[in-house]
Structure 1
């Protein structure tokens, strides 16, 4: 498994592609793209458990430049990702929102930056990338929940040579956390020891037809944990609207030296959503069993439907139900305006050997200009009320101002 993933797409290309029907002639520069994203975020985190509030304001710039591929049977390309974060307001007593790095003296950094470079190769229907990566799949997903995104270092391949099938795999050896300029070795979330390991993943998605898609992924963090993922998504018209069913199952267990101890965790989650005009009504249930919380890479996101809030609701033995409502104001001739409210209730969980319960209410109002001179300019306000009997309780108020600009 590891040898296959480490050699990545080069081996995949030689085995999966019997020949090349034509030479692609797209240009290295002619198919290039440039994009600038401006992010101005103001976070106010009210600590309801008695500690200091966390209040910060910061400006982020994300410059993405992607080349096309050189002509020929094997095409080469280069992508770059420039990231810059600037402190606008913070203090030692109120730092720690995750927007900015925090020094040992408790002060937030004035700025932080990084430059990611990715080399890429295309052979028929296989694309191999090496360098800075933004993986996004059920077993490893980069975190973009703050000013700047988390990035990974490694090699991955993608294969699209069979109709309706997408396959990918890779090896990752480091990551840069979302409020850092430095790459660090990979460890699981919550681990405090000196060990680390490389992460291997492989999997894909197959669309059986227009309504059903199946997914399987495998991920392994050396000497920590292994994880299997199975997923089914079904979409169908029901009456005047559309019903989406999303079922996911994770099977995780420790591997090798098991430096972080037990990682035996099964997680089932299922959600239903019904879209009718501008309305979308949703609900879901999730349950963990085993002797550990769901393992995942430190700083990364998880792809459970409970992930977007303050808590991930993936504690040992935790059960969670969710209700959600969205409204798209395009139905009222106001394109770009949207509203969301959702509620999570987690119960029967264990945290550090103690019974744990938690619940969270999230609301969001967002508007993005759809056309004209300021197309891509957006504003969003989010409020979150999170309560727990074992973890810190918070009230979050966050303002997001964004501007996405296509340079060429």
Structure 2
């Protein structure tokens, strides 16, 4: 089946769903087609034999059809969402695969080729009572203890069930269970494992809430349990202090305690993170500090996003006993009359990493993002972003990385 025929099948499946339900189901529904053209190049600067390769490089086109239904009328409203995705290789992968854009072609030389295309379809049933919504099926969401990853051609997703409630003023509750994860570059759900820890599990249970004490102050408590591998307890505080002349000061504090679960092995990690951001006239100046304590690195579901202040383009700076700090600068060119143009740069340095029997590990990463979204005309909402990163380490690979992303979202109805 050609890529265009496969995409057409996904679109037809999604477009047919509204006809299965009540008219209100359709009246409140919406659908969109997201296009993402992604070029990824990562150079391994220390080269073989340390990295076993010189570079990973691929170029691909992604299509994402999103359908979100309304709810049927009544005390309990029901609905259905659909997410159809298609990824097509444009170039690369001939010995330079492994960027995460496309599935690996294991039959290629050295296993570093990539497949020409892949697709996936996710369906999610949902029910609403008051301001509480239950979902079951394919899930893509963010939480301090588990978040899907969307940094490649197509987003990763989970399989499971969850409930989100906002029935109590200023309180958002979230909880559920997932049993499988689908990686960004995969068509299949697989069991979950813990990053840097290993093991496999078919159950992750999570629960927690965020409470807004005032318009400026929000507190968070969350819990996650990857069965037979780890338990994690998270507490956070976010405070935004408005200042005169459209200035503001934001404080973000995070603490997580992780221990073992079951008989996998002993696990001990305490993660503390704090970030302060001062904003004025389109500028934002940020500084962060992150500290790992205990005998193990920060655990989280592999191929998901960790909730760490120093989780950046390539690294998370969550190695065993690592200490890291970050300086960041953002600028929104709307202040100069150029809306849609943004710039970000940051530098993160980590040390005290436990390598073997000594705390001699050091690493640093520098990131730069430049993005522009066209604001008017026939190309309105077309976005282009260049993401650049440099990593140097005395215990891992030295990397230079560039990502060029062209995106567009078209509302179908």
Task: Give TM-score scaled by structure 1 length.
Answer: 0.91
Alpha-carbon deviations, 1:334-378, whole Å to 9, x = none? 100000000000000124555311100101110011233322200
Q: What secondary structure, in the 3-state scheme, does the structure 2 residue paired with 1:167 have?
A: strand
Alpha-carbon deviations, 1:93-115, whole Å to 9, x = none? 21111111112132201001100
Task: Check if 1:63 corresponds to 2:60.
Answer: no
Pick aligned residue for 1:187 from 193, 198, 201: 193
Farther-moved stretch of structure 1 (296-305 vs 145-154): 296-305
Partner of 1:37: 34
Pick aligned residue for 1:230 from 221, 226, 235: 235
Alpha-carbon deviations, 1:55-75, whole Å to 9, x = none? 110000111000000001111
Decide whether the 8 Å contact of 1:281 with 1:326 is kept in 2.
Answer: yes
Residues 162-201 of structure 1: pairs in structure 2 closer than 5 A: 162-193=168-199, 195-201=200-206
Task: Check if 1:339 corresponds to 2:343.
Answer: yes
Decide whether the 8 Å contact of 1:26 with 1:71 is kept in 2.
Answer: no
Task: Check if 1:137 corresponds to 2:139.
Answer: no
Residues 210-249 of structure 1: pairs in structure 2 closer than 5 A: 210-240=215-245, 241-249=247-255
Pick aligned residue for 1:94 from 96, 101, 104: 96
Decide whether the 8 Å contact of 1:143 with 1:300 is kept in 2.
Answer: yes
Pick aligned residue for 1:123 from 121, 125, 129: 129
Structure 1: distance between partners of 2:23 and 2:250: 37
Alpha-carbon deviations, 1:283-335, whole Å to 9, x = none? 01000100100000011011212112211100010000000000000001110
Q: What secondary structure, in the 3-state scheme, does the structure 1 residue paired with 2:334 have?
A: helix
Partner of 2:393: 388
Structure 1: distance between partners of 2:100 and 2:406: 17
Q: How many residues align?
A: 381
Structure 2: distance between partners of 1:357 and 1:182: 36
Partner of 1:369: 374
Decide whether the 8 Å contact of 1:46 with 1:394 is kept in 2.
Answer: yes
Decide whether the 8 Å contact of 1:140 with 1:300 is kept in 2.
Answer: yes
Decide whether the 8 Å contact of 2:384 with 2:405 is kept in 1.
Answer: yes
Decide whether the 8 Å contact of 1:262 with 1:291 is kept in 2.
Answer: no
Decide whether the 8 Å contact of 1:52 with 1:93 is kept in 2.
Answer: no
Decide whether the 8 Å contact of 1:26 with 1:68 is kept in 2.
Answer: no
Task: Check if 1:28 corresponds to 2:25.
Answer: yes
RMSD: 1.4
Structure 1: distance between partners of 2:41 and 2:141: 29
Deviation at 1:236, TM superposition (A): 0.7
Structure 1: distance between partners of 2:284 and 2:178: 37
Decide whether the 8 Å contact of 1:225 with 1:255 is kept in 2.
Answer: yes
Deviation at 1:162, TM superposition (A): 0.8
Structure 2: distance between partners of 1:303 and 1:93: 33
Alpha-carbon deviations, 1:73-98, whole Å to 9, x = none? 11110000001110011133211111
Partner of 1:22: none
Residues 151-166 of structure 1: pairs in structure 2 closer than 5 A: 151-166=157-172
Partner of 1:149: 155
Deviation at 1:36, TM superposition (A): 1.2
Decide whether the 8 Å contact of 1:315 with 1:351 is kept in 2.
Answer: no
